[in-house]
Structure 1
Amino acid sequence: MLCLGVLAPAILVPAFGFLASLALMAAVLTVMKPARQAALAFVWRSRAKSLALGIVVGGALAVGIAELVRPFVESILGRGVDTAGLDAVAGNWPVFVATLVVALASAAAEEVLYRGYVIGWGARIFGRGAVPLLVLISAAAFGASHSYGPSGAVVTGLIGLALGVLYQLCGRRLLPCVAAHMTFNLIGSVALFLA
């Protein structure tokens, strides 16, 4: 229950509930050493390879989502991704810098929660056979926890799925996923600024 229960605030209160989920996860990681070992495994092969892979995957993910996935999901659901709350970023340096800092910090925190904690520790608790289900739960929670409307939840869930697969392919190590997520968020923030 501790493994998946921490997702409830993030799912129930999109955007701000993530902070409560993060606090719950931090409390569990503080008192449970086995959770820390599974959830915080970081480097895959080497730091350089982890970062390089993450940057390539994050860039490819940003292009693929923007050019293929988002338009497809929006056409199927008949609704656009709701980014109205981010309109103030366009051309506004102070807002852009603040948004970028939040985007990069949240990328690292989200990877620890959704990939490291849910999938990494979940695999240790429930066994390797549960990993595909944990990847799907993590992706669905990741999508639901972002407040971009129905299309945004699907698109963000698909991003979470890609990051969950990357996490598995890298032996459940976080650094490639953190680098990919940060790269994705950096590209998205720059695109919002230049819009």
Structure 2
Amino acid sequence: MPAPQWKSFAGVTLLVLAMLVALARASQSSLSAPELRDGDSPGGTGAPAREAGTVAGEPPTSDDEAGDDRPTGNGETGREATGDRDATARETLTPELLLVNVAVSQGLFGAVLVAAAWIGSVPPGALGVGTVTLRTLALGVAIGVALFAANELGQHVADALGIDYAEGMRELLTPDSARGWFVLLFLVLPIIAGFEELLFRGALIGAFAAGFGVSPWLLAAGSTVAFALGHGAQGPGGILVTGLLGGALAAVFVLTESLPVVVVAHYLVNALEFTVHARD
């Protein structure tokens, strides 16, 4: 087997991390835009924010898009034409499409990491990849339930302290149909859990420790900070609570050296959070 190309794999890993953090910052900017606050659509009709089909803060590209009252060629004013386009966009941008978008983007990031590990001859064991047994699943489920409870407590504490915990992203992705829930629970959340654990735990801790001889606990601290910043769309409270969750998952990974355990735990935290809060 060829010698592992640790530096090349590390470069790809850090590039994927930078892209993920940049995407999180872009999502945070979109969710915090005035047009999307308080669940209102850009048109101010009171429709849910997840139905908004325009990019918040995007400048108009023409007089009609700026919403003036001059007549268009079909007898409508520019403001009326813009309203029709916005309404059409809101109708086409469904939660299912948002879920598929997340699955595709996270899946592509994950595929890049897997390809980099394969091309760079990174040993699967360095990433924590191993045989999945009933014990692995049971341990992951137990840890996932415990972390979900701790995560809920953290959100309540953040609320009590007046620390903003933005739930816009979760609300955007919460399905409104049986098909949407199927896509969420059996496609999107497994992809998210698998990719994020491969990146933040398998690569940033396991592979970096094996390839560069750095203490896994030191790497766990660094990956926890990166994990928190990667969830910037959840606001300051979300960054804090998610950072604590990431720290716990990092500790579990270091202690068990098992990627499947933390993937199962991560998936369960997300799945329980969506299903429990769907009744709010």
Normalising TM by the smaller chain, what interval? 0.7 to 0.9
Aligned to 1:42: 130
CA deviations over 1:143-194 (Å, ceiling 9, x no partner): 2112211211111111111111111111x11111111111111111211322
Aligned to 1:26: 114
Alignment match of 1:112 (pick from 198, 210, 213) = 198
SS at 1:160 equivalent: helix
Does the 8 Å contact 1:123/1:131 carry over to 2?
A: yes
Does 1:81 pair with 2:192? no
Alignment match of 2:19 (pick from 9, 31, 52) = 9
Does the 8 Å contact 2:154/2:241 carry over to 1?
A: yes
Does 1:187 pair with 2:272? yes
CA deviations over 1:95-124 (Å, ceiling 9, x no partner): 333332312221112111111111110111
Deviation at 1:9, TM superposition (A): 1.2
**Distance in 2 separating the partners of 1:151 and 1:23:** 30
Does 1:124 pair with 2:134? no
Does the 8 Å contact 1:123/1:130 carry over to 2?
A: yes
**Distance in 1 separating the partners of 2:217 and 2:128:** 19
Does the 8 Å contact 1:9/1:18 carry over to 2?
A: no
Compare the two structures and name the one with the higher helix fraction: 1
Where in structure 1 are there 5+ consecutive unaligned residues? none
Does 1:159 pair with 2:169? no
Count of residues paired in the alignment: 189
CA 132–119 in structure 1, closer or farther in 2 if over 3 Å, else same? same
Aligned to 2:52: none
CA deviations over 1:66-98 (Å, ceiling 9, x no partner): 0x222223444x233211233352764343333
CA deviations over 1:26-49 (Å, ceiling 9, x no partner): 342121113544115234xx6111
Does the 8 Å contact 1:10/1:20 carry over to 2?
A: no
Does the 8 Å contact 1:28/1:35 carry over to 2?
A: no
Aligned to 2:142: 56
**Distance in 2 separating the partners of 1:19 and 1:10:** 12
User: If the length of structure 1 is used for normalisation, what is the TM-score?
Assistant: 0.83
RMSD: 2.5
**Distance in 1 separating the partners of 2:122 and 2:111:** 18
Does the 8 Å contact 2:127/2:202 carry over to 1?
A: yes
Deviation at 1:24, TM superposition (A): 4.2
Letter aligned with residue 173 of structure 1: S
SS at 1:34 equivalent: coil
With a CA cutoff of 8 Å and minimum separation of 6, indicate the structure with the bigger relative contact order. 1
CA deviations over 1:1-36 (Å, ceiling 9, x no partner): 642523211122216785675354234212111354
